């Protein structure tokens, strides 16, 4: 099909008026508020509810909230989370905290920021924070380990404080819940 070219009017054929109207827009922008950010020195503050990188949190008493129930590992669609639960010799010095992860890795290259881990967590131990620009110079660097995740996650102001409450209740009832009650096992 051949489209017939529309004939230009005299005013249009003058060329300069169109150029000037374009320049008007350009000059107008000089006097508006700037929308450009000096990234990365200046960073965009994401809105509430934004799903950024998932990190682990601690409670006010510096306890790792994660109990390595592995539900996030189970629910994670791209299988980005890998948890090594504690062995039987899990540290007795952690008070009445029965279980915590020995290692907790999130492969941020795999993570799709869906938020299922936060949704499934029964302990409120993992949150999608507002970090959106995750960079690294190698694949290995993009696998965040427990230390890194906890450092990035910070402290969660926990209103329940499960372990503390359990300890207090047990103490009031005079049950020496911890340390391990030994009923005379000889072989340890």
- With respect to other proteins, which residue has the nearer C-beta, 103 or 141? 103
Q: What DSSP letter does each residue of 37-86 carry, written as one string?
A: --TTTS-PPPPTT----EEE-B-TTS-B------HHHHH-TT--EEEE--
| Choice between 137 and 185, CB closer to other proteins | 185
Based on the shown chain and the rule CB under 8 A, indicate whether residue 88 belongs to the binding site for other proteins.
Answer: yes
Contact call for residue 177 and other proteins (CB under 8 A): yes
- Phi, psi of 149, rounded to the nearest 5 degrees: -65, -40
The gap from C-alpha 36 to its chain's centroid, in whole angstroms, comes to 26
Of the candidates 53, 56, 57, 71, which one interacts with other proteins according to CB under 8 A?
A: 71
In this structure, what DSSP letter does residue 60 have? T
Site for other proteins in 115-144 (CB under 8 A): 122-123
State in angstroms the smallest separation of the CB of 154 from other proteins: 22
Q: How far apart are CA 59 and CA 63, in angstroms?
A: 6
- Catalog residues that contact other proteins under the rule CB under 8 A: 67-71, 73-74, 85-88, 90, 96, 98-99, 122-123, 166, 169-170, 172-173, 175-188
């Amino acid at each position: 099909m051949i489209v017939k070219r529309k004939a230009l009017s005299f005013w249009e054929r003058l060329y300069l008026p169109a150029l000037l109207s374009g320049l008007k827009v350009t000059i107008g922008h000089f006097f508006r508020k700037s929308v450009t950010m000096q990234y990365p020195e200046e960073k965009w503050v994401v809105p509430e509810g934004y799903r950024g990188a998932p990190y682990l949190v601690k409670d006010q008493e510096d306890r790792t909230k994660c109990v390595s129930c592995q539900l996030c590992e189970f629910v994670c669609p791209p299988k980005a989370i890998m948890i090594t639960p504690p062995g039987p010799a899990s540290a007795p010095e952690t008070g009445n905290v029965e279980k915590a992860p020995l290692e907790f890795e999130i492969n941020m290259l795999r993570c799709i920021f869906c938020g299922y881990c936060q949704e499934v967590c029964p302990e409120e131990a993992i949150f999608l924070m507002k970090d959106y620009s995750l960079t690294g110079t190698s694949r290995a660097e993009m696998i965040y380990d427990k230390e890194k995740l906890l450092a990035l996650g910070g402290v969660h102001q926990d209103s329940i404080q499960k372990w503390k409450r359990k300890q207090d209740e047990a103490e009031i009832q005079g049950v020496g819940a911890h340390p391990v009650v030994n009923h005379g096992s000889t072989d340890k």
